Amino acid sequence: MTAPAPSPLLRLSLRAASEGLAAGRHSARDLTEACLARIEATDGRVGAFLHVTAEAARAAAAASAARRAAGRALGPLDGVPLALKDLFLTQGVPTTAGSRLLEGFVPPVDGTAVARLKRAGAVLLGKLNLDEFAMGSSNENSAFKPCRNPWDLTRTPGGSSGGSAAALAARQCYGTLGTDTGGSIRLPASFCGVVGVKPSYGRVSRSGVVAFASSLDQPGPLGREVWDAAALLQAIAGHDPADQTSSSRPVDDYLAGLEGGARGLRVGVPAEWFQGGLEPGVEAAVRGALSAYQRLGATLVEISLPHSRYGIGAYYLIATAEASSNLARYDGVRFGRRAAGVKGLKELYLESRAQGFGAEPKRRIMLGTYALSAGYYDAYYLRAQKVRTLIRRDFDAAFQRCDVVAGPVAPGPAFRLGERTGDPLQMYLADIFTITCNLAALPGLSVPCGLSAGLPVGLQLVGRPFDEAGLLTAARALERELGPAGAPAGLEAA
């Protein structure tokens, strides 16, 4: 029995799929069945999905079709198949955060972003693979299975939102949500040749997203094209009374000015991001993107972010400190995994946590607990917070002279599975260019800007606080100039 040929519908962007629905060229059911078949055919090799909700997806597609037939379609996402990083709480659907500890945990409610996608009529296909509790840069810390890069199945898709990027590159769905604490949307987007947006801290509600590091976490969209990510962000952005750290600033229209081009744009190029260590293919692609901006009428401005070099250090103090506290609730008492055969409370705690957490969460809990301990707090956590302020000031100063900051997402393209698992520090350095954006609470994105030895390279753009619209417009200009990233070579052409 031969596999059926991949449906031509899978080649569509979210935008094209959405327009086709509006024009009646295909139905929500057509799109949903095409994606489910694609997942069935490819995910054994990719490993992007932890849980596929086929029946719920079919029901949502039918409901969407009924709305559309009645002339009551809800908007551009109505009937479009999407998928979610398994860090988002989904009512009645298992949510694991990539951890054995939460195996069997079924949330009683949807997270805010999930609820907003449902209200927009989206068809949700299931839950996507990730590093355990979003801790990792390669998706290899998933407690269930590794996820592979559709461009080269021997390589990682990046992390922690590895499944969110890989599913898009493998054409298993039209858009996904991920979360970004230190680069967890932008790095996999770069590695997999898709667009990934980390919004300003507070732009998207964190309510209903399993917490890693509360002051850095930010949910965001991934799409195959800039328009796709912009439409998803439009649906999920905005104040949420259930998250007091979410901003009450009005949400801009991300689609209206998207084709505004780059003429007159001042693109800041931080010297520190190009000082050695860049893989030559990556540097070439990134410099190519900067030249493209010049062709489009933008000017390049040399800027300096002198405190970037302290970013990794500050990040791994703040993120681990907050994580050590956020992960304390997984004690085996109320939900999730509880160790069997234990005697007494202390043993219940120790065994449940020892058995439930993988190596990386354990490492970060220890680092964070240490950083917050009496006598160390001032030297570590407090000082890291001060570094954070300095990093933000660097950007504030830069934005006096430029409109966006541009540079590489990561020093190299997707690395091989197993290549860095023995060296956590090397793994942490994959985030060296992305974490400052989280520390400064700024919006950032990754947009494809070429290939290095056949592997996708992303350009990182960082914008002013809450200027997601400007950032997306700049990314769209580059996308139009350079064309799409192309089809992954790791899977058969779809």
Residue 13 touches another protein, criterion: CB under 8 A: no
CA 455 to CA 260: how far, in whole Å? 29
For residue 425, count other CB atoms closer than 10 A to its CB.
Answer: 9
- For residue 81, the SS3 value is strand
CA 362 to CA 3: how far, in whole Å? 42
Residue 421 touches another protein, criterion: CB under 8 A: no
- How far is residue 178 from each of residues 156, 275, 299, measured CA to CA in Å? 16, 30, 32
Q: Pick the closer one to another protein by CB: 209 or 290.
A: 209
Residues sharing a CB contact under 8 Å with residue 127, sequence separation 6 or more, in sequence order: 49, 50, 51, 53, 83, 84, 85, 86, 88, 90, 93, 94, 95, 96
Member of 69, 271, 333, 359 binding another protein (CB under 8 A): 333
Residue 471 touches another protein, criterion: CB under 8 A: no
Residue 108 touches another protein, criterion: CB under 8 A: yes
Give min distance, CB of 174 to another protein, in A: 25
- Which among 198, 204, 140 is positioned nearest to 166, based on CA atoms? 140
Residue 354 touches another protein, criterion: CB under 8 A: no
CA 84 to CA 118: how far, in whole Å? 12
- Record the tokens describing residue 171, joined without a space: 């054409």
Helix (H), strand (E) at residue 287:
helix 280-295
Residue 248 touches another protein, criterion: CB under 8 A: no
Member of 39, 65, 166, 210 binding another protein (CB under 8 A): 210
Q: Which one of 99, 138, 184, 446 is the catalytic residue? A: 184
Member of 254, 381, 399, 415 binding another protein (CB under 8 A): 381
Q: Pick the closer one to another protein by CB: 13 or 369.
A: 369
For residue 483, count other CB atoms closer than 10 A to its CB.
Answer: 9
Residue 83 touches another protein, criterion: CB under 8 A: no
Residue 214 touches another protein, criterion: CB under 8 A: yes
Residue 329 touches another protein, criterion: CB under 8 A: yes
Q: Pick the closer one to another protein by CB: 206 or 224.
A: 206
DSSP 155: B
Residue 211 touches another protein, criterion: CB under 8 A: yes
Residue 180 touches another protein, criterion: CB under 8 A: no
Member of 207, 218, 234, 446 binding another protein (CB under 8 A): 207
Q: Pick the closer one to another protein by CB: 19 or 377.
A: 377
DSSP letters, 417-473, are TTSSTT-HHHHHGGGTTTHHHHHTT--EEEEEEEEETTEEEEEEEEESTT-HHHHHH
Give min distance, CB of 47 to another protein, in A: 23
Residue 387 touches another protein, criterion: CB under 8 A: no
Q: Pick the closer one to another protein by CB: 160 or 207.
A: 207
Amino acid 173 reads: C
Residue 341 touches another protein, criterion: CB under 8 A: no
CA 135 to CA 92: how far, in whole Å? 25
Scanning 1-9, 148-156, 202-210, 414-422 for contacts with another protein by CB under 8 A, the matching segment is 202-210
Residue 144 touches another protein, criterion: CB under 8 A: no
Member of 98, 208, 456, 465 binding another protein (CB under 8 A): 208
CA 189 to CA 195: how far, in whole Å? 6
Query: Which residues in this chain contact another protein in the complex, by CB under 8 A?
Result: 87-89, 95, 97, 102, 105, 107-109, 111, 206-211, 213-215, 241-245, 321-322, 324-325, 327-331, 333-335, 345, 349, 369, 372-374, 377, 381
Q: Which are the catalytic amino acids?
A: 85, 160, 184
